[in-house]
Amino acid sequence: MDARQRFVALRNRVLAFGLVGGIGFGIEAVILQGLSLIGVQPILGRAVSFPVAVTATWLLNKHFTFRDRPVTDRRAQYLLYLGGQLGGAAINICAFILTIRRWPALASQPVVPLMVGSALGLLFNYAWANAMVFKGTARSLAG
């Protein structure tokens, strides 16, 4: 595989990972909002919505984004994935807070710090998933 083919493969994998992350966000948002409508406090709601979204994104990434990677112990793989997601969430929140502290005017436009946090969290989560969770030599997608 030449450099251009490797770049295209990497780009496609990162885009797929981002798409799966967007689906996970949607799943979490629907669950969180639904629980909120029946009176569940947000922190407790996140305790329910986050694991459901993580499980959904692990399954989607396993069967879609990293489908060409060798299969490993599913339980160990899931726990590694969960650990990475927690790390990415911590980076996301810290970047969000630090962005607002550095530029206080952005507190009135929280979407900008959210984008900064989300981008950094996504980069970490992708690197973690690629190197630690779905590691191994890629198999041919045709086979």
Same domain, 51 and 104: no
Sign of CA dihedral 19, 22, 26, 28: positive
Same domain, 61 and 75: no
Residue 142 has pLDDT above 50, yes or no: no
Same domain, 121 and 75: yes
Q: Are 17 and 65 in contact (CB under 8 A)?
A: yes
| Containing structural domain, residue 98 | 71-137
The chain-wide mean pLDDT, for the chain, equals: 90
* Entry pTM: 0.83
Same domain, 56 and 105: no
Q: What is the 3-state secondary structure (H, E, C) of 15-79?
A: HHHHHHHHHHHHHHHHHHHHHHHCCCCHHHHHHHHHHHHHHHHHHHHHHHHCCCCCCCCHHHHHH
Same domain, 21 and 83: no
Same domain, 42 and 90: no
Maximum C-alpha span of the chain: 55
CB burial of residue 77 (10 Å; 0-12, 13-18, 19+): buried
Domain membership flag for residue 15: yes
Residue 48 has pLDDT above 80, yes or no: yes
pLDDT for position 138: 56
Does 8 or 141 have the greater pLDDT score?
8
81-97, pLDDT tens digit by residue? 999 999 999 999 999 99
Same domain, 79 and 114: yes
Q: How many domains does the chain have?
A: 2
Residue 143 has pLDDT above 50, yes or no: no
Give the integer Cα–Cα distance in Å for 59 and 106.
35
Same domain, 16 and 53: yes
Does 73 or 58 have the greater pLDDT score?
58
70's CB contacts (< 8 A; 6+ apart) are: 136, 137, 139
32's CB contacts (< 8 A; 6+ apart) are: 42, 45, 46, 49
